[in-house]
Chain A
């Protein structure tokens, strides 16, 4: 029996462990290690309408049980990925979640339309700045986030996930997105942070601030997935610092139906498969399935 099988917005996943956006590129770098189809899914690096060069270096630095990154959304632009990477990725038999972003609703929609033939799901990155709306991230403004979501929904027939930011209010944004027709949520994106270089007396990162990820943020992820699950019936892709099978099960209990692994893959390219195997073993010991655990922390005693 397959204890790990899970259906999510009409797509069947052989296991619930997927890669997180920006930590696996488009999969090519890891394709010689194992068949990419063995992963629950691959979430691609964020794709924008035009190429973006990214932030100045250093772009990453380690922190206690975590890391800060400010890659600056470097990517080749949607046309390059539709030409090279996405068709190849689908040929590998992998399930694909394409992460899309832009600087105004129409740009998100244009990317979503172009990647849809290769996407099982679309994940909308709302953490980028709304350049026509005071440069606040869309994710911090319920109405701006909803406008993006409506534009993307009009542009694609694929289910659409909204990726939520822990740096602003989650529940009002989620409510506005639900009203706008979102199909599910993914969370959490990174927490904004900073580290100083004592010799230079300046921030370490070229971009000054960056996104904190890794085990340090796992409790924040568990809390926010838990809170969101209490306030929505839509399915949740949970992530934040997952490094072990136990971590994945914590997020499942909080309400995550799928779980993404990100920073852990940098240290261990086999991490998503190892974590899926650990979950399988933990469930086998208990004679339970993944779905027995999804949201189970919310059931009455």
Chain B
């Protein structure tokens, strides 16, 4: 499906190309927290939306979830993965970048208690939903997974800042509980908790969390990370197969209801 027009879909935000000034670049284990001054984007992001960030010397931008926005500032989590993200995390403060933003649909606002299931930088796409749920007085359960203890600092700098307790799972047992965060989710759901499940991380994690939620008849949402070029619906790179046909993660997502996705 070609995405609906901006005129037809009033829900879609009017994105533009914005200037960002890097003010802080702080390592958090293998991840980096990048803080930017972005006055023209102040307050523009809904939870789960993203931006498409320029990287000096690279032909394509990089889509990244917004971790936090405070006044004129916004924060991103970047995990060096390929040449582009490696260059991004080496940029010194003072670097000016450009971002197409705000992009994507974002998560629906929580209407009750929530369970967050994250892996790696997936935390970034979930933190604003966690804050929104706390503001409304809902209970927030957090299950985070990693191969080892490498995400401890990231979890402290994100969920920790909101005062949230995190059930941390490491596959090698080096920190928190040994195993996968879906074990915690399953225990919660089996206890009959009436939560909505929000999951962002590796595909396998999101799939497992979604299937569990569906099994217990709870609403669930994921944010799908599919390679994209333009970020705005033109290149058709980020195809996602759903029960209502082929969609594109940049404009129809990145957030999808778990029951809509063909897993």
- A266 in contact with B60 (CB, 8 Å): yes
Q: A residues within 8 A CB of B60?
A: 60, 62, 67, 266-267
Q: A residues within 8 A CB of B98?
A: 268
Asked whether A234 is an interface residue with its Cβ less than 8 Å from the other chain, the reply is: no
B interface, size bucket: 20 to 34
Using a CB-CB cutoff of 8 Å, which residues 227-248 of chain B contact chain A?
A: 227-230, 232-239, 246
- A71 in contact with B236 (CB, 8 Å): yes
- A263 in contact with B59 (CB, 8 Å): yes
Known: A23-B234, A25-B236. A266 touches B61 (CB 8 A): yes
Nearest-neighbour CB distance to chain B for A96, whole angstroms, equals 16
Please give me the residue from chain B that is nearest to A58 by CB atom: B227
Please give me the residue from chain A that is nearest to B1 by CB atom: A76
- A25 in contact with B234 (CB, 8 Å): yes
Please give me the residue from chain B that is nearest to A61 by CB atom: B227
Give the CA-CA distance A54 to B2 in the complex, in Å. Answer: 12
A interface, size bucket: 35 or more
Q: B residues within 8 A CB of A30?
A: 232, 234
- A60 in complex: contacting residue of B1, B14, B100, B235, CB < 8 Å: B235
- B236 in contact with A54 (CB, 8 Å): yes
- A59 in contact with B6 (CB, 8 Å): no
Asked whether A154 is an interface residue with its Cβ less than 8 Å from the other chain, the reply is: no
Give the CA-CA distance A207 to B230 in the complex, in Å. Answer: 19
Contacts from B to A (Cβ < 8 Å): 1-3, 5-6, 14, 16-17, 54, 58-61, 82-84, 98, 100, 226-230, 232-239, 246, 251
Name 6 A/B residue pairs within 8 A (Cβ), A-sorted.
Answer: A23-B230, A28-B6, A28-B233, A67-B229, A266-B59, A266-B235
A-B pairs with the 5 shortest C-beta distances?
A: A58-B227, A25-B234, A266-B229, A59-B237, A60-B237
Contacts from A to B (Cβ < 8 Å): 22-26, 28-33, 45, 53-54, 57-63, 65-67, 69, 71, 74-76, 80, 85, 88, 214-215, 263, 265-270
